């Protein structure tokens, strides 16, 4: 386990920056509660949606992707609000999350529930743009989302549950356009889940000391001194399963070359990961927006070439 992080080195969970910093206090608190100041979350939720749409082979589908982007922003925000309501007591005991609006008392739980409903209404508007089969798939994710905040209390691998949740848009995007080739879809989804376990293990490195003290479980704690090797295995498994998905979709070894840029980027993350530097894990975690973009490009090539 790494040395305890000095208080001055802690990267805060919510930050006053960008448009959020210009808002009055109450709207700013609500924006931070939904993590609008940290767009990496909705990027990571959105990219699997793009994978499902582009691998399905129906072209750009920009209007559909626009709706799915709006849904990703709204539902990621709703998920964060729900998570903060459930975890308020735990968040107060972790240095990085103690300043969150609900944990700090700046936003009441009553107001937080109202904000959650407002964001969910936006998600409902997006849901109504989908065909019936895709709507059913999207609604099924709510069970996983509702259970996620409790996983850190009962398992050392809440990241595995997050892997199921954060890649669900892949299934929705695919089902909106087609319902065949389910073997390729399953392999793509399994690989995406391993990708999430890898990057969220990197993210959890920031909280290892506090998590251990308050009893929060995580893959970063479970792996102990083997985090880098564990992340490498998860990423390798993700690339392998994505390659299998491409092969099941199109049995052409040339198609597999499309994954080389994404695989190279993941290898860079592993090779440069430094758990002793407080800023390093967060930077590596955030760089997965580029992983998502690179895999999306590969899906478009394989699905539409």
Note the pLDDT tens digit of each residue in 9-26.
Answer: 444 555 555 677 788 888
14-23, 52-61, 119-128: least confident range:
14-23
Q: Pick 266 or 206 by higher pLDDT.
A: 266
Packing angle between helix 227-249 and helix 182-204, nearest 10 degrees?
A: 160
Residue tagged 């590969």 (tokens) = 298
User: 209-220: per-residue pLDDT in tens?
Assistant: 555 555 577 777
Q: How many other CB atoms are there within 10 angstroms of residue 154's CB atom?
A: 10
> Tokens representing 165?
């949740």
Question: How far is 305 from 302, CA to CA, in rounded Å?
Answer: 6
- Give residue 215's pLDDT: 58
Mean pLDDT (the chain) is 89
Segment 79-92 shows an average pLDDT of: 88
Residue 61 has pLDDT above 90, yes or no: yes
């Amino acid at each position: 386990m790494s040395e305890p992080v000095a208080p001055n080195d802690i990267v805060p969970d919510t930050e006053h920056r960008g448009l959020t910093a210009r808002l009055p206090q109450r709207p700013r608190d609500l924006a931070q509660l939904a993590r609008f100041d940290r767009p990496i979350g909705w990027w990571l939720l959105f990219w699997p949606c793009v994978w499902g749409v582009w691998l399905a082979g129906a072209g750009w589908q920009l209007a559909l992707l626009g709706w799915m982007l709006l849904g990703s922003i709204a539902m990621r925000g709703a998920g964060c609000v729900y998570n903060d309501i459930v975890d308020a007591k735990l968040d107060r005991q972790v240095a990085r999350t103690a300043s969150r609006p609900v944990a700090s008392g700046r936003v009441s739980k009553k107001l937080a529930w109202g904000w959650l409903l407002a964001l969910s209404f936006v998600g409902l508007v997006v849901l109504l743009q989908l065909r019936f089969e895709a709507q059913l798939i999207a609604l099924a994710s709510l069970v996983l989302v509702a259970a996620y905040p409790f996983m850190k209390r009962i398992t050392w691998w809440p990241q595995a549950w997050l892997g199921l949740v954060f890649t669900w848009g892949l299934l929705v995007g695919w089902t909106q356009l087609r319902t065949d080739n389910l073997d390729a879809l399953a392999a793509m989804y399994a690989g995406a889940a391993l990708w999430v376990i890898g990057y969220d293990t990197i993210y959890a490195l920031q909280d290892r000391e506090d998590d251990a003290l308050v009893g929060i479980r995580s893959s970063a704690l479970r792996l102990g001194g083997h985090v880098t090797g564990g992340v490498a295995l998860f990423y390798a498994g993700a690339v392998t399963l994505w390659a299998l998905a491409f092969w099941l979709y199109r049995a052409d070894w040339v198609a597999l070359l499309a994954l080389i840029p994404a695989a190279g980027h993941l290898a860079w993350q592993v090779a440069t990961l430094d758990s002793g530097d407080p800023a390093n894990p967060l930077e590596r975690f955030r760089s997965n927006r580029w992983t998502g973009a690179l895999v999306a490009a590969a899906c478009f090539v394989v699905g539409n070439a």
